[in-house]
Amino acid sequence: MECGDEMPTGDMLNKLKMVNMFLLETLRLYSPVLLIRRKVGTDIELGGIKMPEGALLMIPIATIHRDKEVWGEDADEFRPERFENGVTRAAKHPNALLSFSSGPRSCIGQNFAMIEAKAVIAMILQRFSFTLSPKYVHAPTDVITLRPKYGLPMILKSLKL
């Protein structure tokens, strides 16, 4: 790992390409927010549908993130390598990843969230190996944000004796 036993720095975290790809693929399949709501600013036509000013537009992130026309036949599979050439080349549309939204209304905390997640993962991997507990039940649930309904029990083993 790029960090070794040292406290990860910003430069080190930026070099953790596989961790970044892992996070992006996790966000694609299990985006914390399942739906984006936007108010239409002016009368528009979108995909042949007329949308009047003031209408509420719902963007189904979870559906788009698993759409085979957008992400390919393996859209339901966990494949971090799809982000090997960056977010804009991972799908058939450069703005297909909507975990933090896109454009001028995208999440202001996106970069902080990604750096923080990479730091936590790096520090855990420096100290532990882990496996999923046999007690884990895969049941994502939407309670404000997407989360495991029954938690995420893990078996941790210290790497340092």
**Residue 91: closest CA among 70, 64, 66, 69:** 70
Per-residue DSSP letter, 16: -
Query: Is 36 within 8 Å of 58 (Cβ atoms)?
Result: yes
**Residue 77: closest CA among 33, 34, 25, 149:** 25
141 membership: H or E segment, kind and range: strand 140-143
**Residue 61: closest CA among 86, 37, 25:** 37
Distance in angstroms (rounded) separating the CA atoms of residues 80 and 88: 14
CA atoms within 13 A on the CB side of 9: 3
Residue 3 known to bind ligand = no
Distance in angstroms (rounded) separating the CA atoms of residues 137 and 76: 18
Q: Which residue ranges make up the annotated binding site? A: 107
Q: Which residue ranges make up the annotated binding site for heme? A: 107
